[in-house]
Structure 1
């Protein structure tokens, strides 16, 4: 059991460090949100690993609260992602993609007419 716990802990630490590096580099708000959500998941996994190793169940409310905070945070950022500036390379909505395609097609049709 100790070997498995140590291996899991090392993997969780590595994932946490990589998530923090990704959150620092970005480049967009959505990338940072995903990285911080992953870090919250790693933190939840670490607490669950400690609870399993020490055979305790009193940390379950902490796990539930951290899960809810991570979920609500991700949903909140995703909801306001449409307000992110174009320079930050945000994910476009379906309506924006359709509008850009219509503009591109009309420009191509005008060029063909000339």
Structure 2
């Protein structure tokens, strides 16, 4: 069981590295749509990281946090998209 836990934890570490790479696109995105998509991907990566940690560390409360964060990420995406459309940011 320890080897499987290590695999899940290393998977979470790999997603953290990918999230750091996506953070560059969120900051330097040439358009607002690139930034919105990058922030959405960062939120999804966070949910996956929390789920992998829940399995790897055998802590079920990480899944509760992941579910709440997924809902907040969805609401944030809708709010940013609505703000972008109302502001006229859609090209």
* Length-normalised TM-score, structure 2: 0.80
User: Where does structure 1 differ by over 6 angstroms across 4 or more consecutive aligned residues?
Assistant: none
Query: Out of 73, 77, 87, which is 1:74 matched to?
Result: 77
Highest RCO, 1 vs 2 (Cα 8 Å, sep ≥ 6):
2
1:4 to partner: Cα distance: 2.1
Gaps of 5+ in 2: none
For 1:57, which of 60, 76, 79 is the aligned residue? 60
Q: 1:25 maps to which residue?
A: 28
What is the aligned residue count? Answer: 88
- Runs of 5+ consecutive residues of structure 1 not aligned to the other structure: 93-114
**Cα RMSD between the aligned structures?**
1.9
Q: TM-score, normalised by structure 1?
A: 0.66
**Structure label with greater radius of gyration:** 1
